[in-house]
Amino acid sequence: MSDHLLQTALDWHRAGRAVAVATVVETWGSAPRGVGSLLIIDADGHMEGSVSGGCVEGAVIMEALDAIPSGDARLLDYGVSDDEAFAVGLACGGRIRVLVEPVGGAMPVHLLEQLVAAITARQPIAYVTAAQAQARKLAHPADFPDRFRLDRSGFEEDGQTFIAIHNPPLRMIVVGAVHIAQALLPMARACGYDPVLIDPRGAFGSAERFPGETIIEDWPDEAMATLAPDTRTAVVTLTHDPKLDDPAIIQTLKSRAFYLGCLGSTRTHAKRVLRLTEAGFAEADIARIHAPVGLDLGGRAPAEIAVSIMAQVIATLRRAQ
């Protein structure tokens, strides 16, 4: 994620530094950086971020320095040779297009401020540009639902309108510091999630068992109220104990979390459904629960179960068939 660079660009502008934002808008072949990658450059040549892993940064910086005084956008097209690609760790060459927008010129300051504010507030937002025009605007998930769901920036079919998707970071909240969680948390992080572990039992959720992890020792209902699951949050309950799992499940069902998976057998889940029904939840609400948790991969070891959970979370987010 390079969204923090937009905050830096705004900070530089507010400090009186002339700055431009360079965005990868299209790639072919073995491009070093993906669509949406950012590089910011000020008028003195200072830079942060990357659009190519180093092979065309120099050329982009020179174009940005020329564009800043006029305020006009520039759409740049670069080929990355096989030799250059190999130097930055790629097997073969590719091609990239980069859009350079001076802040206060092609990129209006008020739109950058609104964009940064939405990102800071964990609100999904898109920055929409027209490659051959000065028109700029912000858009929301209802405008481009598939792009937001898939985290997919890119050009629309007209080949002119570029949509830069800025989704909040993904989170995974895991209730229950059990063996499966020990495998699941690092796996979630490797897949781009910020994991949080909830378990009021200090002996379970210890730093020794979960080194470097964020551990909350509050009761799950209190912790969930603070964490406020949203559309970029997956919740997994693993304790087998209704006193711990149920409060977290109830809070999640009241939220817009995109995934809720609960460990337990079919029989255990039937009892869970009965308790939730008695608590007033409708059948459609309860149907949001993935239980038994995870895809049926046939694995039984904790790490295998963690793989099945992670696979189901990804499939749910991306709506894989």
Task: List, in sequence order, the alpha helices (H) in the chain.
Answer: 4-14, 57-70, 82-87, 109-120, 145-150, 179-190, 220-227, 242-253, 266-278, 283-286, 302-318
Q: Which domains does the chain have, with CATH numbers?
A: 4-166 (no CATH), 170-318 (3.40.50.720)
**Residues ≥6 apart with Cβ < 8 Å to 122:** 168, 169, 230, 232
Distance between CA 93 and CA 88 in Å, rounded? Answer: 10
Query: pTM for the full model?
Result: 0.78
pLDDT for residue 315 = 95
What are 269-318's pLDDT values in tens digits? 999 999 999 999 999 999 999 999 999 999 999 999 999 999 999 999 98
Distance between CA 164 and CA 23 in Å, rounded? Answer: 9
Dihedral sign from CA coordinates of 6, 10, 15, 21: positive
pLDDT for residue 31 = 61
pLDDT for residue 89 = 44
Closest Cα partner for 318 from 152, 96, 72, 76? 152
